Amino acid sequence: MKKPLDNERFLEFARSYLRESFPNPERIGCPPDQELQKLAYSPLKADAIVTAHLSCCSDCYVRYAALLEEQKLRLRSGMYKPGTSWLALRPRPAFAVLGAVVLLCVGTVLLMFRHSPEPARLSLILDLRSASQSRGLDTKPSETKMRVPRRLLNLKIQLPFGAKEGMYSVSLQSGEAVVWSRDATAKVIDHVMSLELEGDFRRLPMGKYQLLVQSGQARFQYPLQITRP
């Protein structure tokens, strides 16, 4: 009879897998650091989406693991700061979150071995033809209002009149942070200068963002809202 895999060896394998298998050095689509801190110090108050994000982003997992190790050292040394959450003084919930992340990792591996197909993408057209170009960082963005669901998307962005062919950078911003970005080449599709690209907005929090489209000196900015799937 085959000896079962030692728990510690299994956990170390899972941790190593999470640290190395999903590199995201530019932290695209990542939650802010304070959300990772909340997950480490007060896990019951943290957003479950952040936990799921750790299972597919090595850089966030490494940061979270470092925060959790700091918390462990605080608990061992008896350190306490005024205003520290009561939950932060209890190691169990935080380590339970780590266990949940490991389980998510295992689930990801199993899905890979089963060759599960990627969820269907929704095709969506963003019509920006009537929008005007922003000139300078202080220019107010267009009043064009767009609503985009939290889904896997095939996006077609119809550029404003006068836009030229070439490479464009497309990004979503929340405040000063860039939460998603892609590059695409503009070409004429059905008599309209357009960009075709894929987007995965499933892990972005619902709310208001700015869509920024740039090519050289041309810069277009629009308000956009991420909605329910």
Predicted local confidence at residue 121, as pLDDT: 87
CB-based contacts of 208: which residues, under 8 Å, 6+ apart?
A: 223, 224, 225
Q: In what order do the strands lie in the sheet with 207-215?
A: 122-127, 152-158, 192-200, 177-189, 166-174, 207-215, 218-227, 146-149
Give the Cα separation of 202 and 181 in Å (integer). Answer: 14
What tens-digit pLDDT sequence spans the chain (229 residues)? 445 555 666 667 777 777 887 888 777 778 888 888 888 888 777 777 887 788 788 888 888 888 888 877 877 776 555 455 434 444 445 555 555 555 555 555 444 445 445 568 899 999 988 776 655 444 454 454 789 999 999 999 999 988 999 999 999 999 889 999 999 999 999 999 999 999 999 888 889 999 999 998 888 889 999 998 8
Phi, psi (degrees; rounded to nearest 5) at 95: -70, -25
Give the Cα separation of 146 and 211 in Å (integer). Answer: 9
Closest CA to 218 of 109, 134, 154: 134
Phi, psi (degrees; rounded to nearest 5) at 42: -135, 70
Q: What kind of architecture, by CATH, is found in domain 122-227?
A: Sandwich (2.60)
Predicted local confidence at residue 168, as pLDDT: 96
Give the Cα separation of 65 and 219 in Å (integer). Answer: 39
List b or e across 163-181, with b for residues whose CB sees 16 or more CB atoms inside 10 angstroms: beeeebebbbbbeeebbbe
Residues of CATH 2.60.40.10 domain(s) within the chain?
A: 122-227
Instruction: Please tell me whether the overall predicted TM-score, pTM, comes out greater than 0.75 for this model.
Output: no
Predicted local confidence at residue 8, as pLDDT: 66
